[in-house]
Amino acid sequence: MKIIVGLGNPDGKYKNTYHNVGFSVVDFFAKQKHMKFSTKKCKAEIAVADDFVLAKPQTYMNLSGDSVAELKKYYKAKLEDILIVLDDIDQPKGRVRFRLSGSAGTHNGLRDIVAKVGSTPRLRVGIGRDASMDLRDYVLSVIDEPSQEILAQSREHACDLIEKFISGELCQDITI
C-alpha cells in the first residue's frame, strides 16, 4: 500500500497559502481520481483506494511526523512506500522536484517527519521566496493570482509524478 501525504495546516484560514501547497496537490489528485477525504484516522483526513491512501495530517505542519508515524504503523508501510508532498521555498516557484530520500532541508514539517519516521520519498513543489518578507509571513501568506497560475501547472506535474510513484514507475530523482 502506498501512502501519499500532503503537508499543510488544517485551519481554514491557511487554505490558500503557500504552506498548504501539499494539501492542494493531494486535493487535486483526489479530484482527478473521484475520491473524497471522508475518514479521519491516524491524526489525518484520508481517502482510500485499492492500492494507495491519500492523507492530509491534521496536526499542523510542525508536528506532521506524528500523523505520518501513525499512518506508517496502521498501514504497515515501508518508508519507500510513503510519499511526502510539500512546499519548498528553496526551489523556484513552479519547479517540481521528486527525490527518493534526503535531508529535510529548511522545511519544519519534513524535519519532524524525518526525526520521527525516517527519510521517505518526497515531492517538493517550489514556491520561491520573497526576500522582503519574513519567512513565516511569506509561507502563511495567501497565494496571489499570478502565482496561482504557476502553481496550477506545478500541481498537474506533481499529480503525474504521484501517479508514477503509485505504479512503481518512479525510481529516480526527477526535477521538472
Cell representation of residue 144: 496571489
The Cα–Cα gap between 58 and 62 comes to 11
Q: Around Cβ 50, how many Cβ atoms within 10 Å?
A: 5
Residue with cell 520561491: 128
Asked if residues 104 and 111 have their Cβ atoms less than 8 Å apart, the reply is yes
Told to judge if 19 belongs to the known catalytic residues of this protein, a careful annotator would answer: yes
**Which one of 19, 34, 107, 157 is the catalytic residue?**
19
The Cα–Cα gap between 128 and 87 comes to 9
Cell representation of residue 54: 491519500
Active-site residues, by number, are 19
